[in-house]
């Protein structure tokens, strides 16, 4: 079974920016902003494209 890759610096910065924008409050998987970020992360040319084929890679839905 393949594992989801380690978060890149750019991915972490985007995720942290979302947390700050949310007032440091918890973000849930179903939140629209989380789904948008997930879609963005999955579209980036990171991790040689392999990771995007993994269902657990930066999922937008539980």
Q: By residue range, what is the domain housing residue 21?
A: 9-53
45 in a structural domain: yes
Nearest CA to 7 out of 36, 46, 34, 45 is that of 46
> What pTM did the predictor assign?
0.74
62 in a structural domain: no
Say yes or no to pLDDT of 1 above 70.
Answer: no
* pLDDT, tens only, 7-49: 889 999 999 999 999 999 999 888 899 888 888 888 888 777 6
How far apart (Å, rounded) are the C-alpha atoms in residues 23 and 39? Answer: 22
39 in a structural domain: yes
């Amino acid at each position: 079974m393949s594992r989801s890759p380690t978060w890149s610096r750019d991915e972490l910065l985007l995720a942290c920016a979302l947390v700050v924008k949310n007032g440091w409050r918890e973000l849930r998987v179903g939140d629209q902003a989380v789904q948008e970020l997930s879609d963005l992360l999955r579209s980036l040319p990171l991790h040689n494209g392999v990771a995007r084929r993994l269902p657990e890679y930066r999922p937008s839905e539980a």
